[in-house]
Copies of this chain bind each other. A is one copy, B any other.
Amino acid sequence: MKEVYLDNAATSRVKPDNVLEAMNNYLTNIGCSPGRGGYECSLQASRIVLNTRLAFADFFNVNSSEQIIFSHNITHGLNYALKGLLSEGDHVITTSIEHNAVVRPLKGLEEAGIIEVDYISCDEAGILDPEDVEKAVCDNTKLLVTTHASNIIGTLTPVQQLGKIADKHGLYFILDTAQTAGIYDLDFADLKLDVLAFTGHKGLLGPTGTGGLAVSKEVAQEMEPLIEGGTGSISDKEYQPDFLPDKFESGTMNTVGLAGLKAGIEFIKEQGLKKIREHELELTDRLLQGLDAIEGIKIYGPKDTKLQTSTVSIDVADFDLGQLSFRLDDEYGIMTRSGLHCAPLAHKTIGSFPEGTLRFSIGYFNTAEEIDYTLETLEELMRTN
């Protein structure tokens, strides 16, 4: 049976060959823990970590590599930022299309009576009006946190304008790039970001167990570390270092993961973001047009690749979406994800709560033929239902 992987919003399944090679090289030939000083093979491990940091500083246009902090995944990174920065009495602005990686930490802090949050409503297509964000700014607003793109309908948020609003009102601006890093241009300085949270295993084509933050030096100073412990630095001190990146990186790093992630970012730089994005959006356009032509399918979101990523959600008349997703895989090898995609607020926004949607998310390694096969399969299933 064919295999068509259309769940790239969850993780990129196929990794470039150099990612596997880099991981195998670390495991086979290096294998040591990074350390300051020490033996050669430990220095090689340190170099992997440092070079990955340098690659990200360059990739996101961050001044200095120490402003790149690695974490277990983007959810951890977002928690570091939100819980490390927010304290009693702070007000936060976010949107109604956020993933639970942003919503749950905020709801937890709200529930504990520590902060207040405004969830700015996006329209049914997930589109946010930056004016609504500006109107919500209060005296005690500490930060603005938004996703760069919805993980269910792909809608892009107006990051340029949001950055300007945050800058104008002296708010920290935290951007969740889970759905866009490795596909869209992300310029930390230009977007006036204070925190850019990224995940390693989606568009950046690295392995699981990787992700992190790019942070401004000001944020790094103010942010309290959630996790403390050994850092290999100032080992004579029983207190957490207060300098970057060590303040936020305790315990043994995921060096094998970072070796793979560095290879992922190298592959992306080699291909070019523009080529990757254009390929994904061309296929998305093909999918959107094809879906639009099938009677009984409702497409959520902007339906316009200028306004969205390669993630498309649909409802299908007369079908249970969970069952449909199962049949697509079981009978045709087409892998999709149905349900709420860890984003209940976003589904409420687009009107698909609590049933959820059937989600297709396209990656760089998908082909036009795969999109056509998916469309033909959907047509056939609906015709024969």
Contacts and interface: CB of A to CB of B under 8 A. Distances in A.
Given A209-B256, A237-B344, A72 B75 contact: no
A231 to B, nearest CB: 7
Interface in A250-293: 250-257
Interface string A50-73: 000000000000000000000111
Given A251-B101, A253-B208, A254-B208, A37 B326 contact: yes
> Interface size class for chain A?
35 or more
A211 B229 CA distance: 15
Contacts of A42: 7, 10, 335, 337
A193 interface: no
B33 A230 contact: no
A50 to B, nearest CB: 16
A37 B339 contact: yes
A24 B20 contact: yes
Interface of A: 5, 7, 10-11, 13-15, 19-20, 23-24, 27-28, 31-33, 35, 37-42, 71-76, 78-79, 83, 99-105, 107-108, 111, 199, 201, 207-211, 226-232, 235-240, 250-257, 322, 325-326, 328-330, 335-345, 353-354, 356
* 9 A-B pairs with the lowest CB-CB distances in the bound complex, closest first: A75-B251, A209-B254, A230-B342, A209-B209, A75-B229, A39-B329, A73-B251, A72-B72, A235-B340
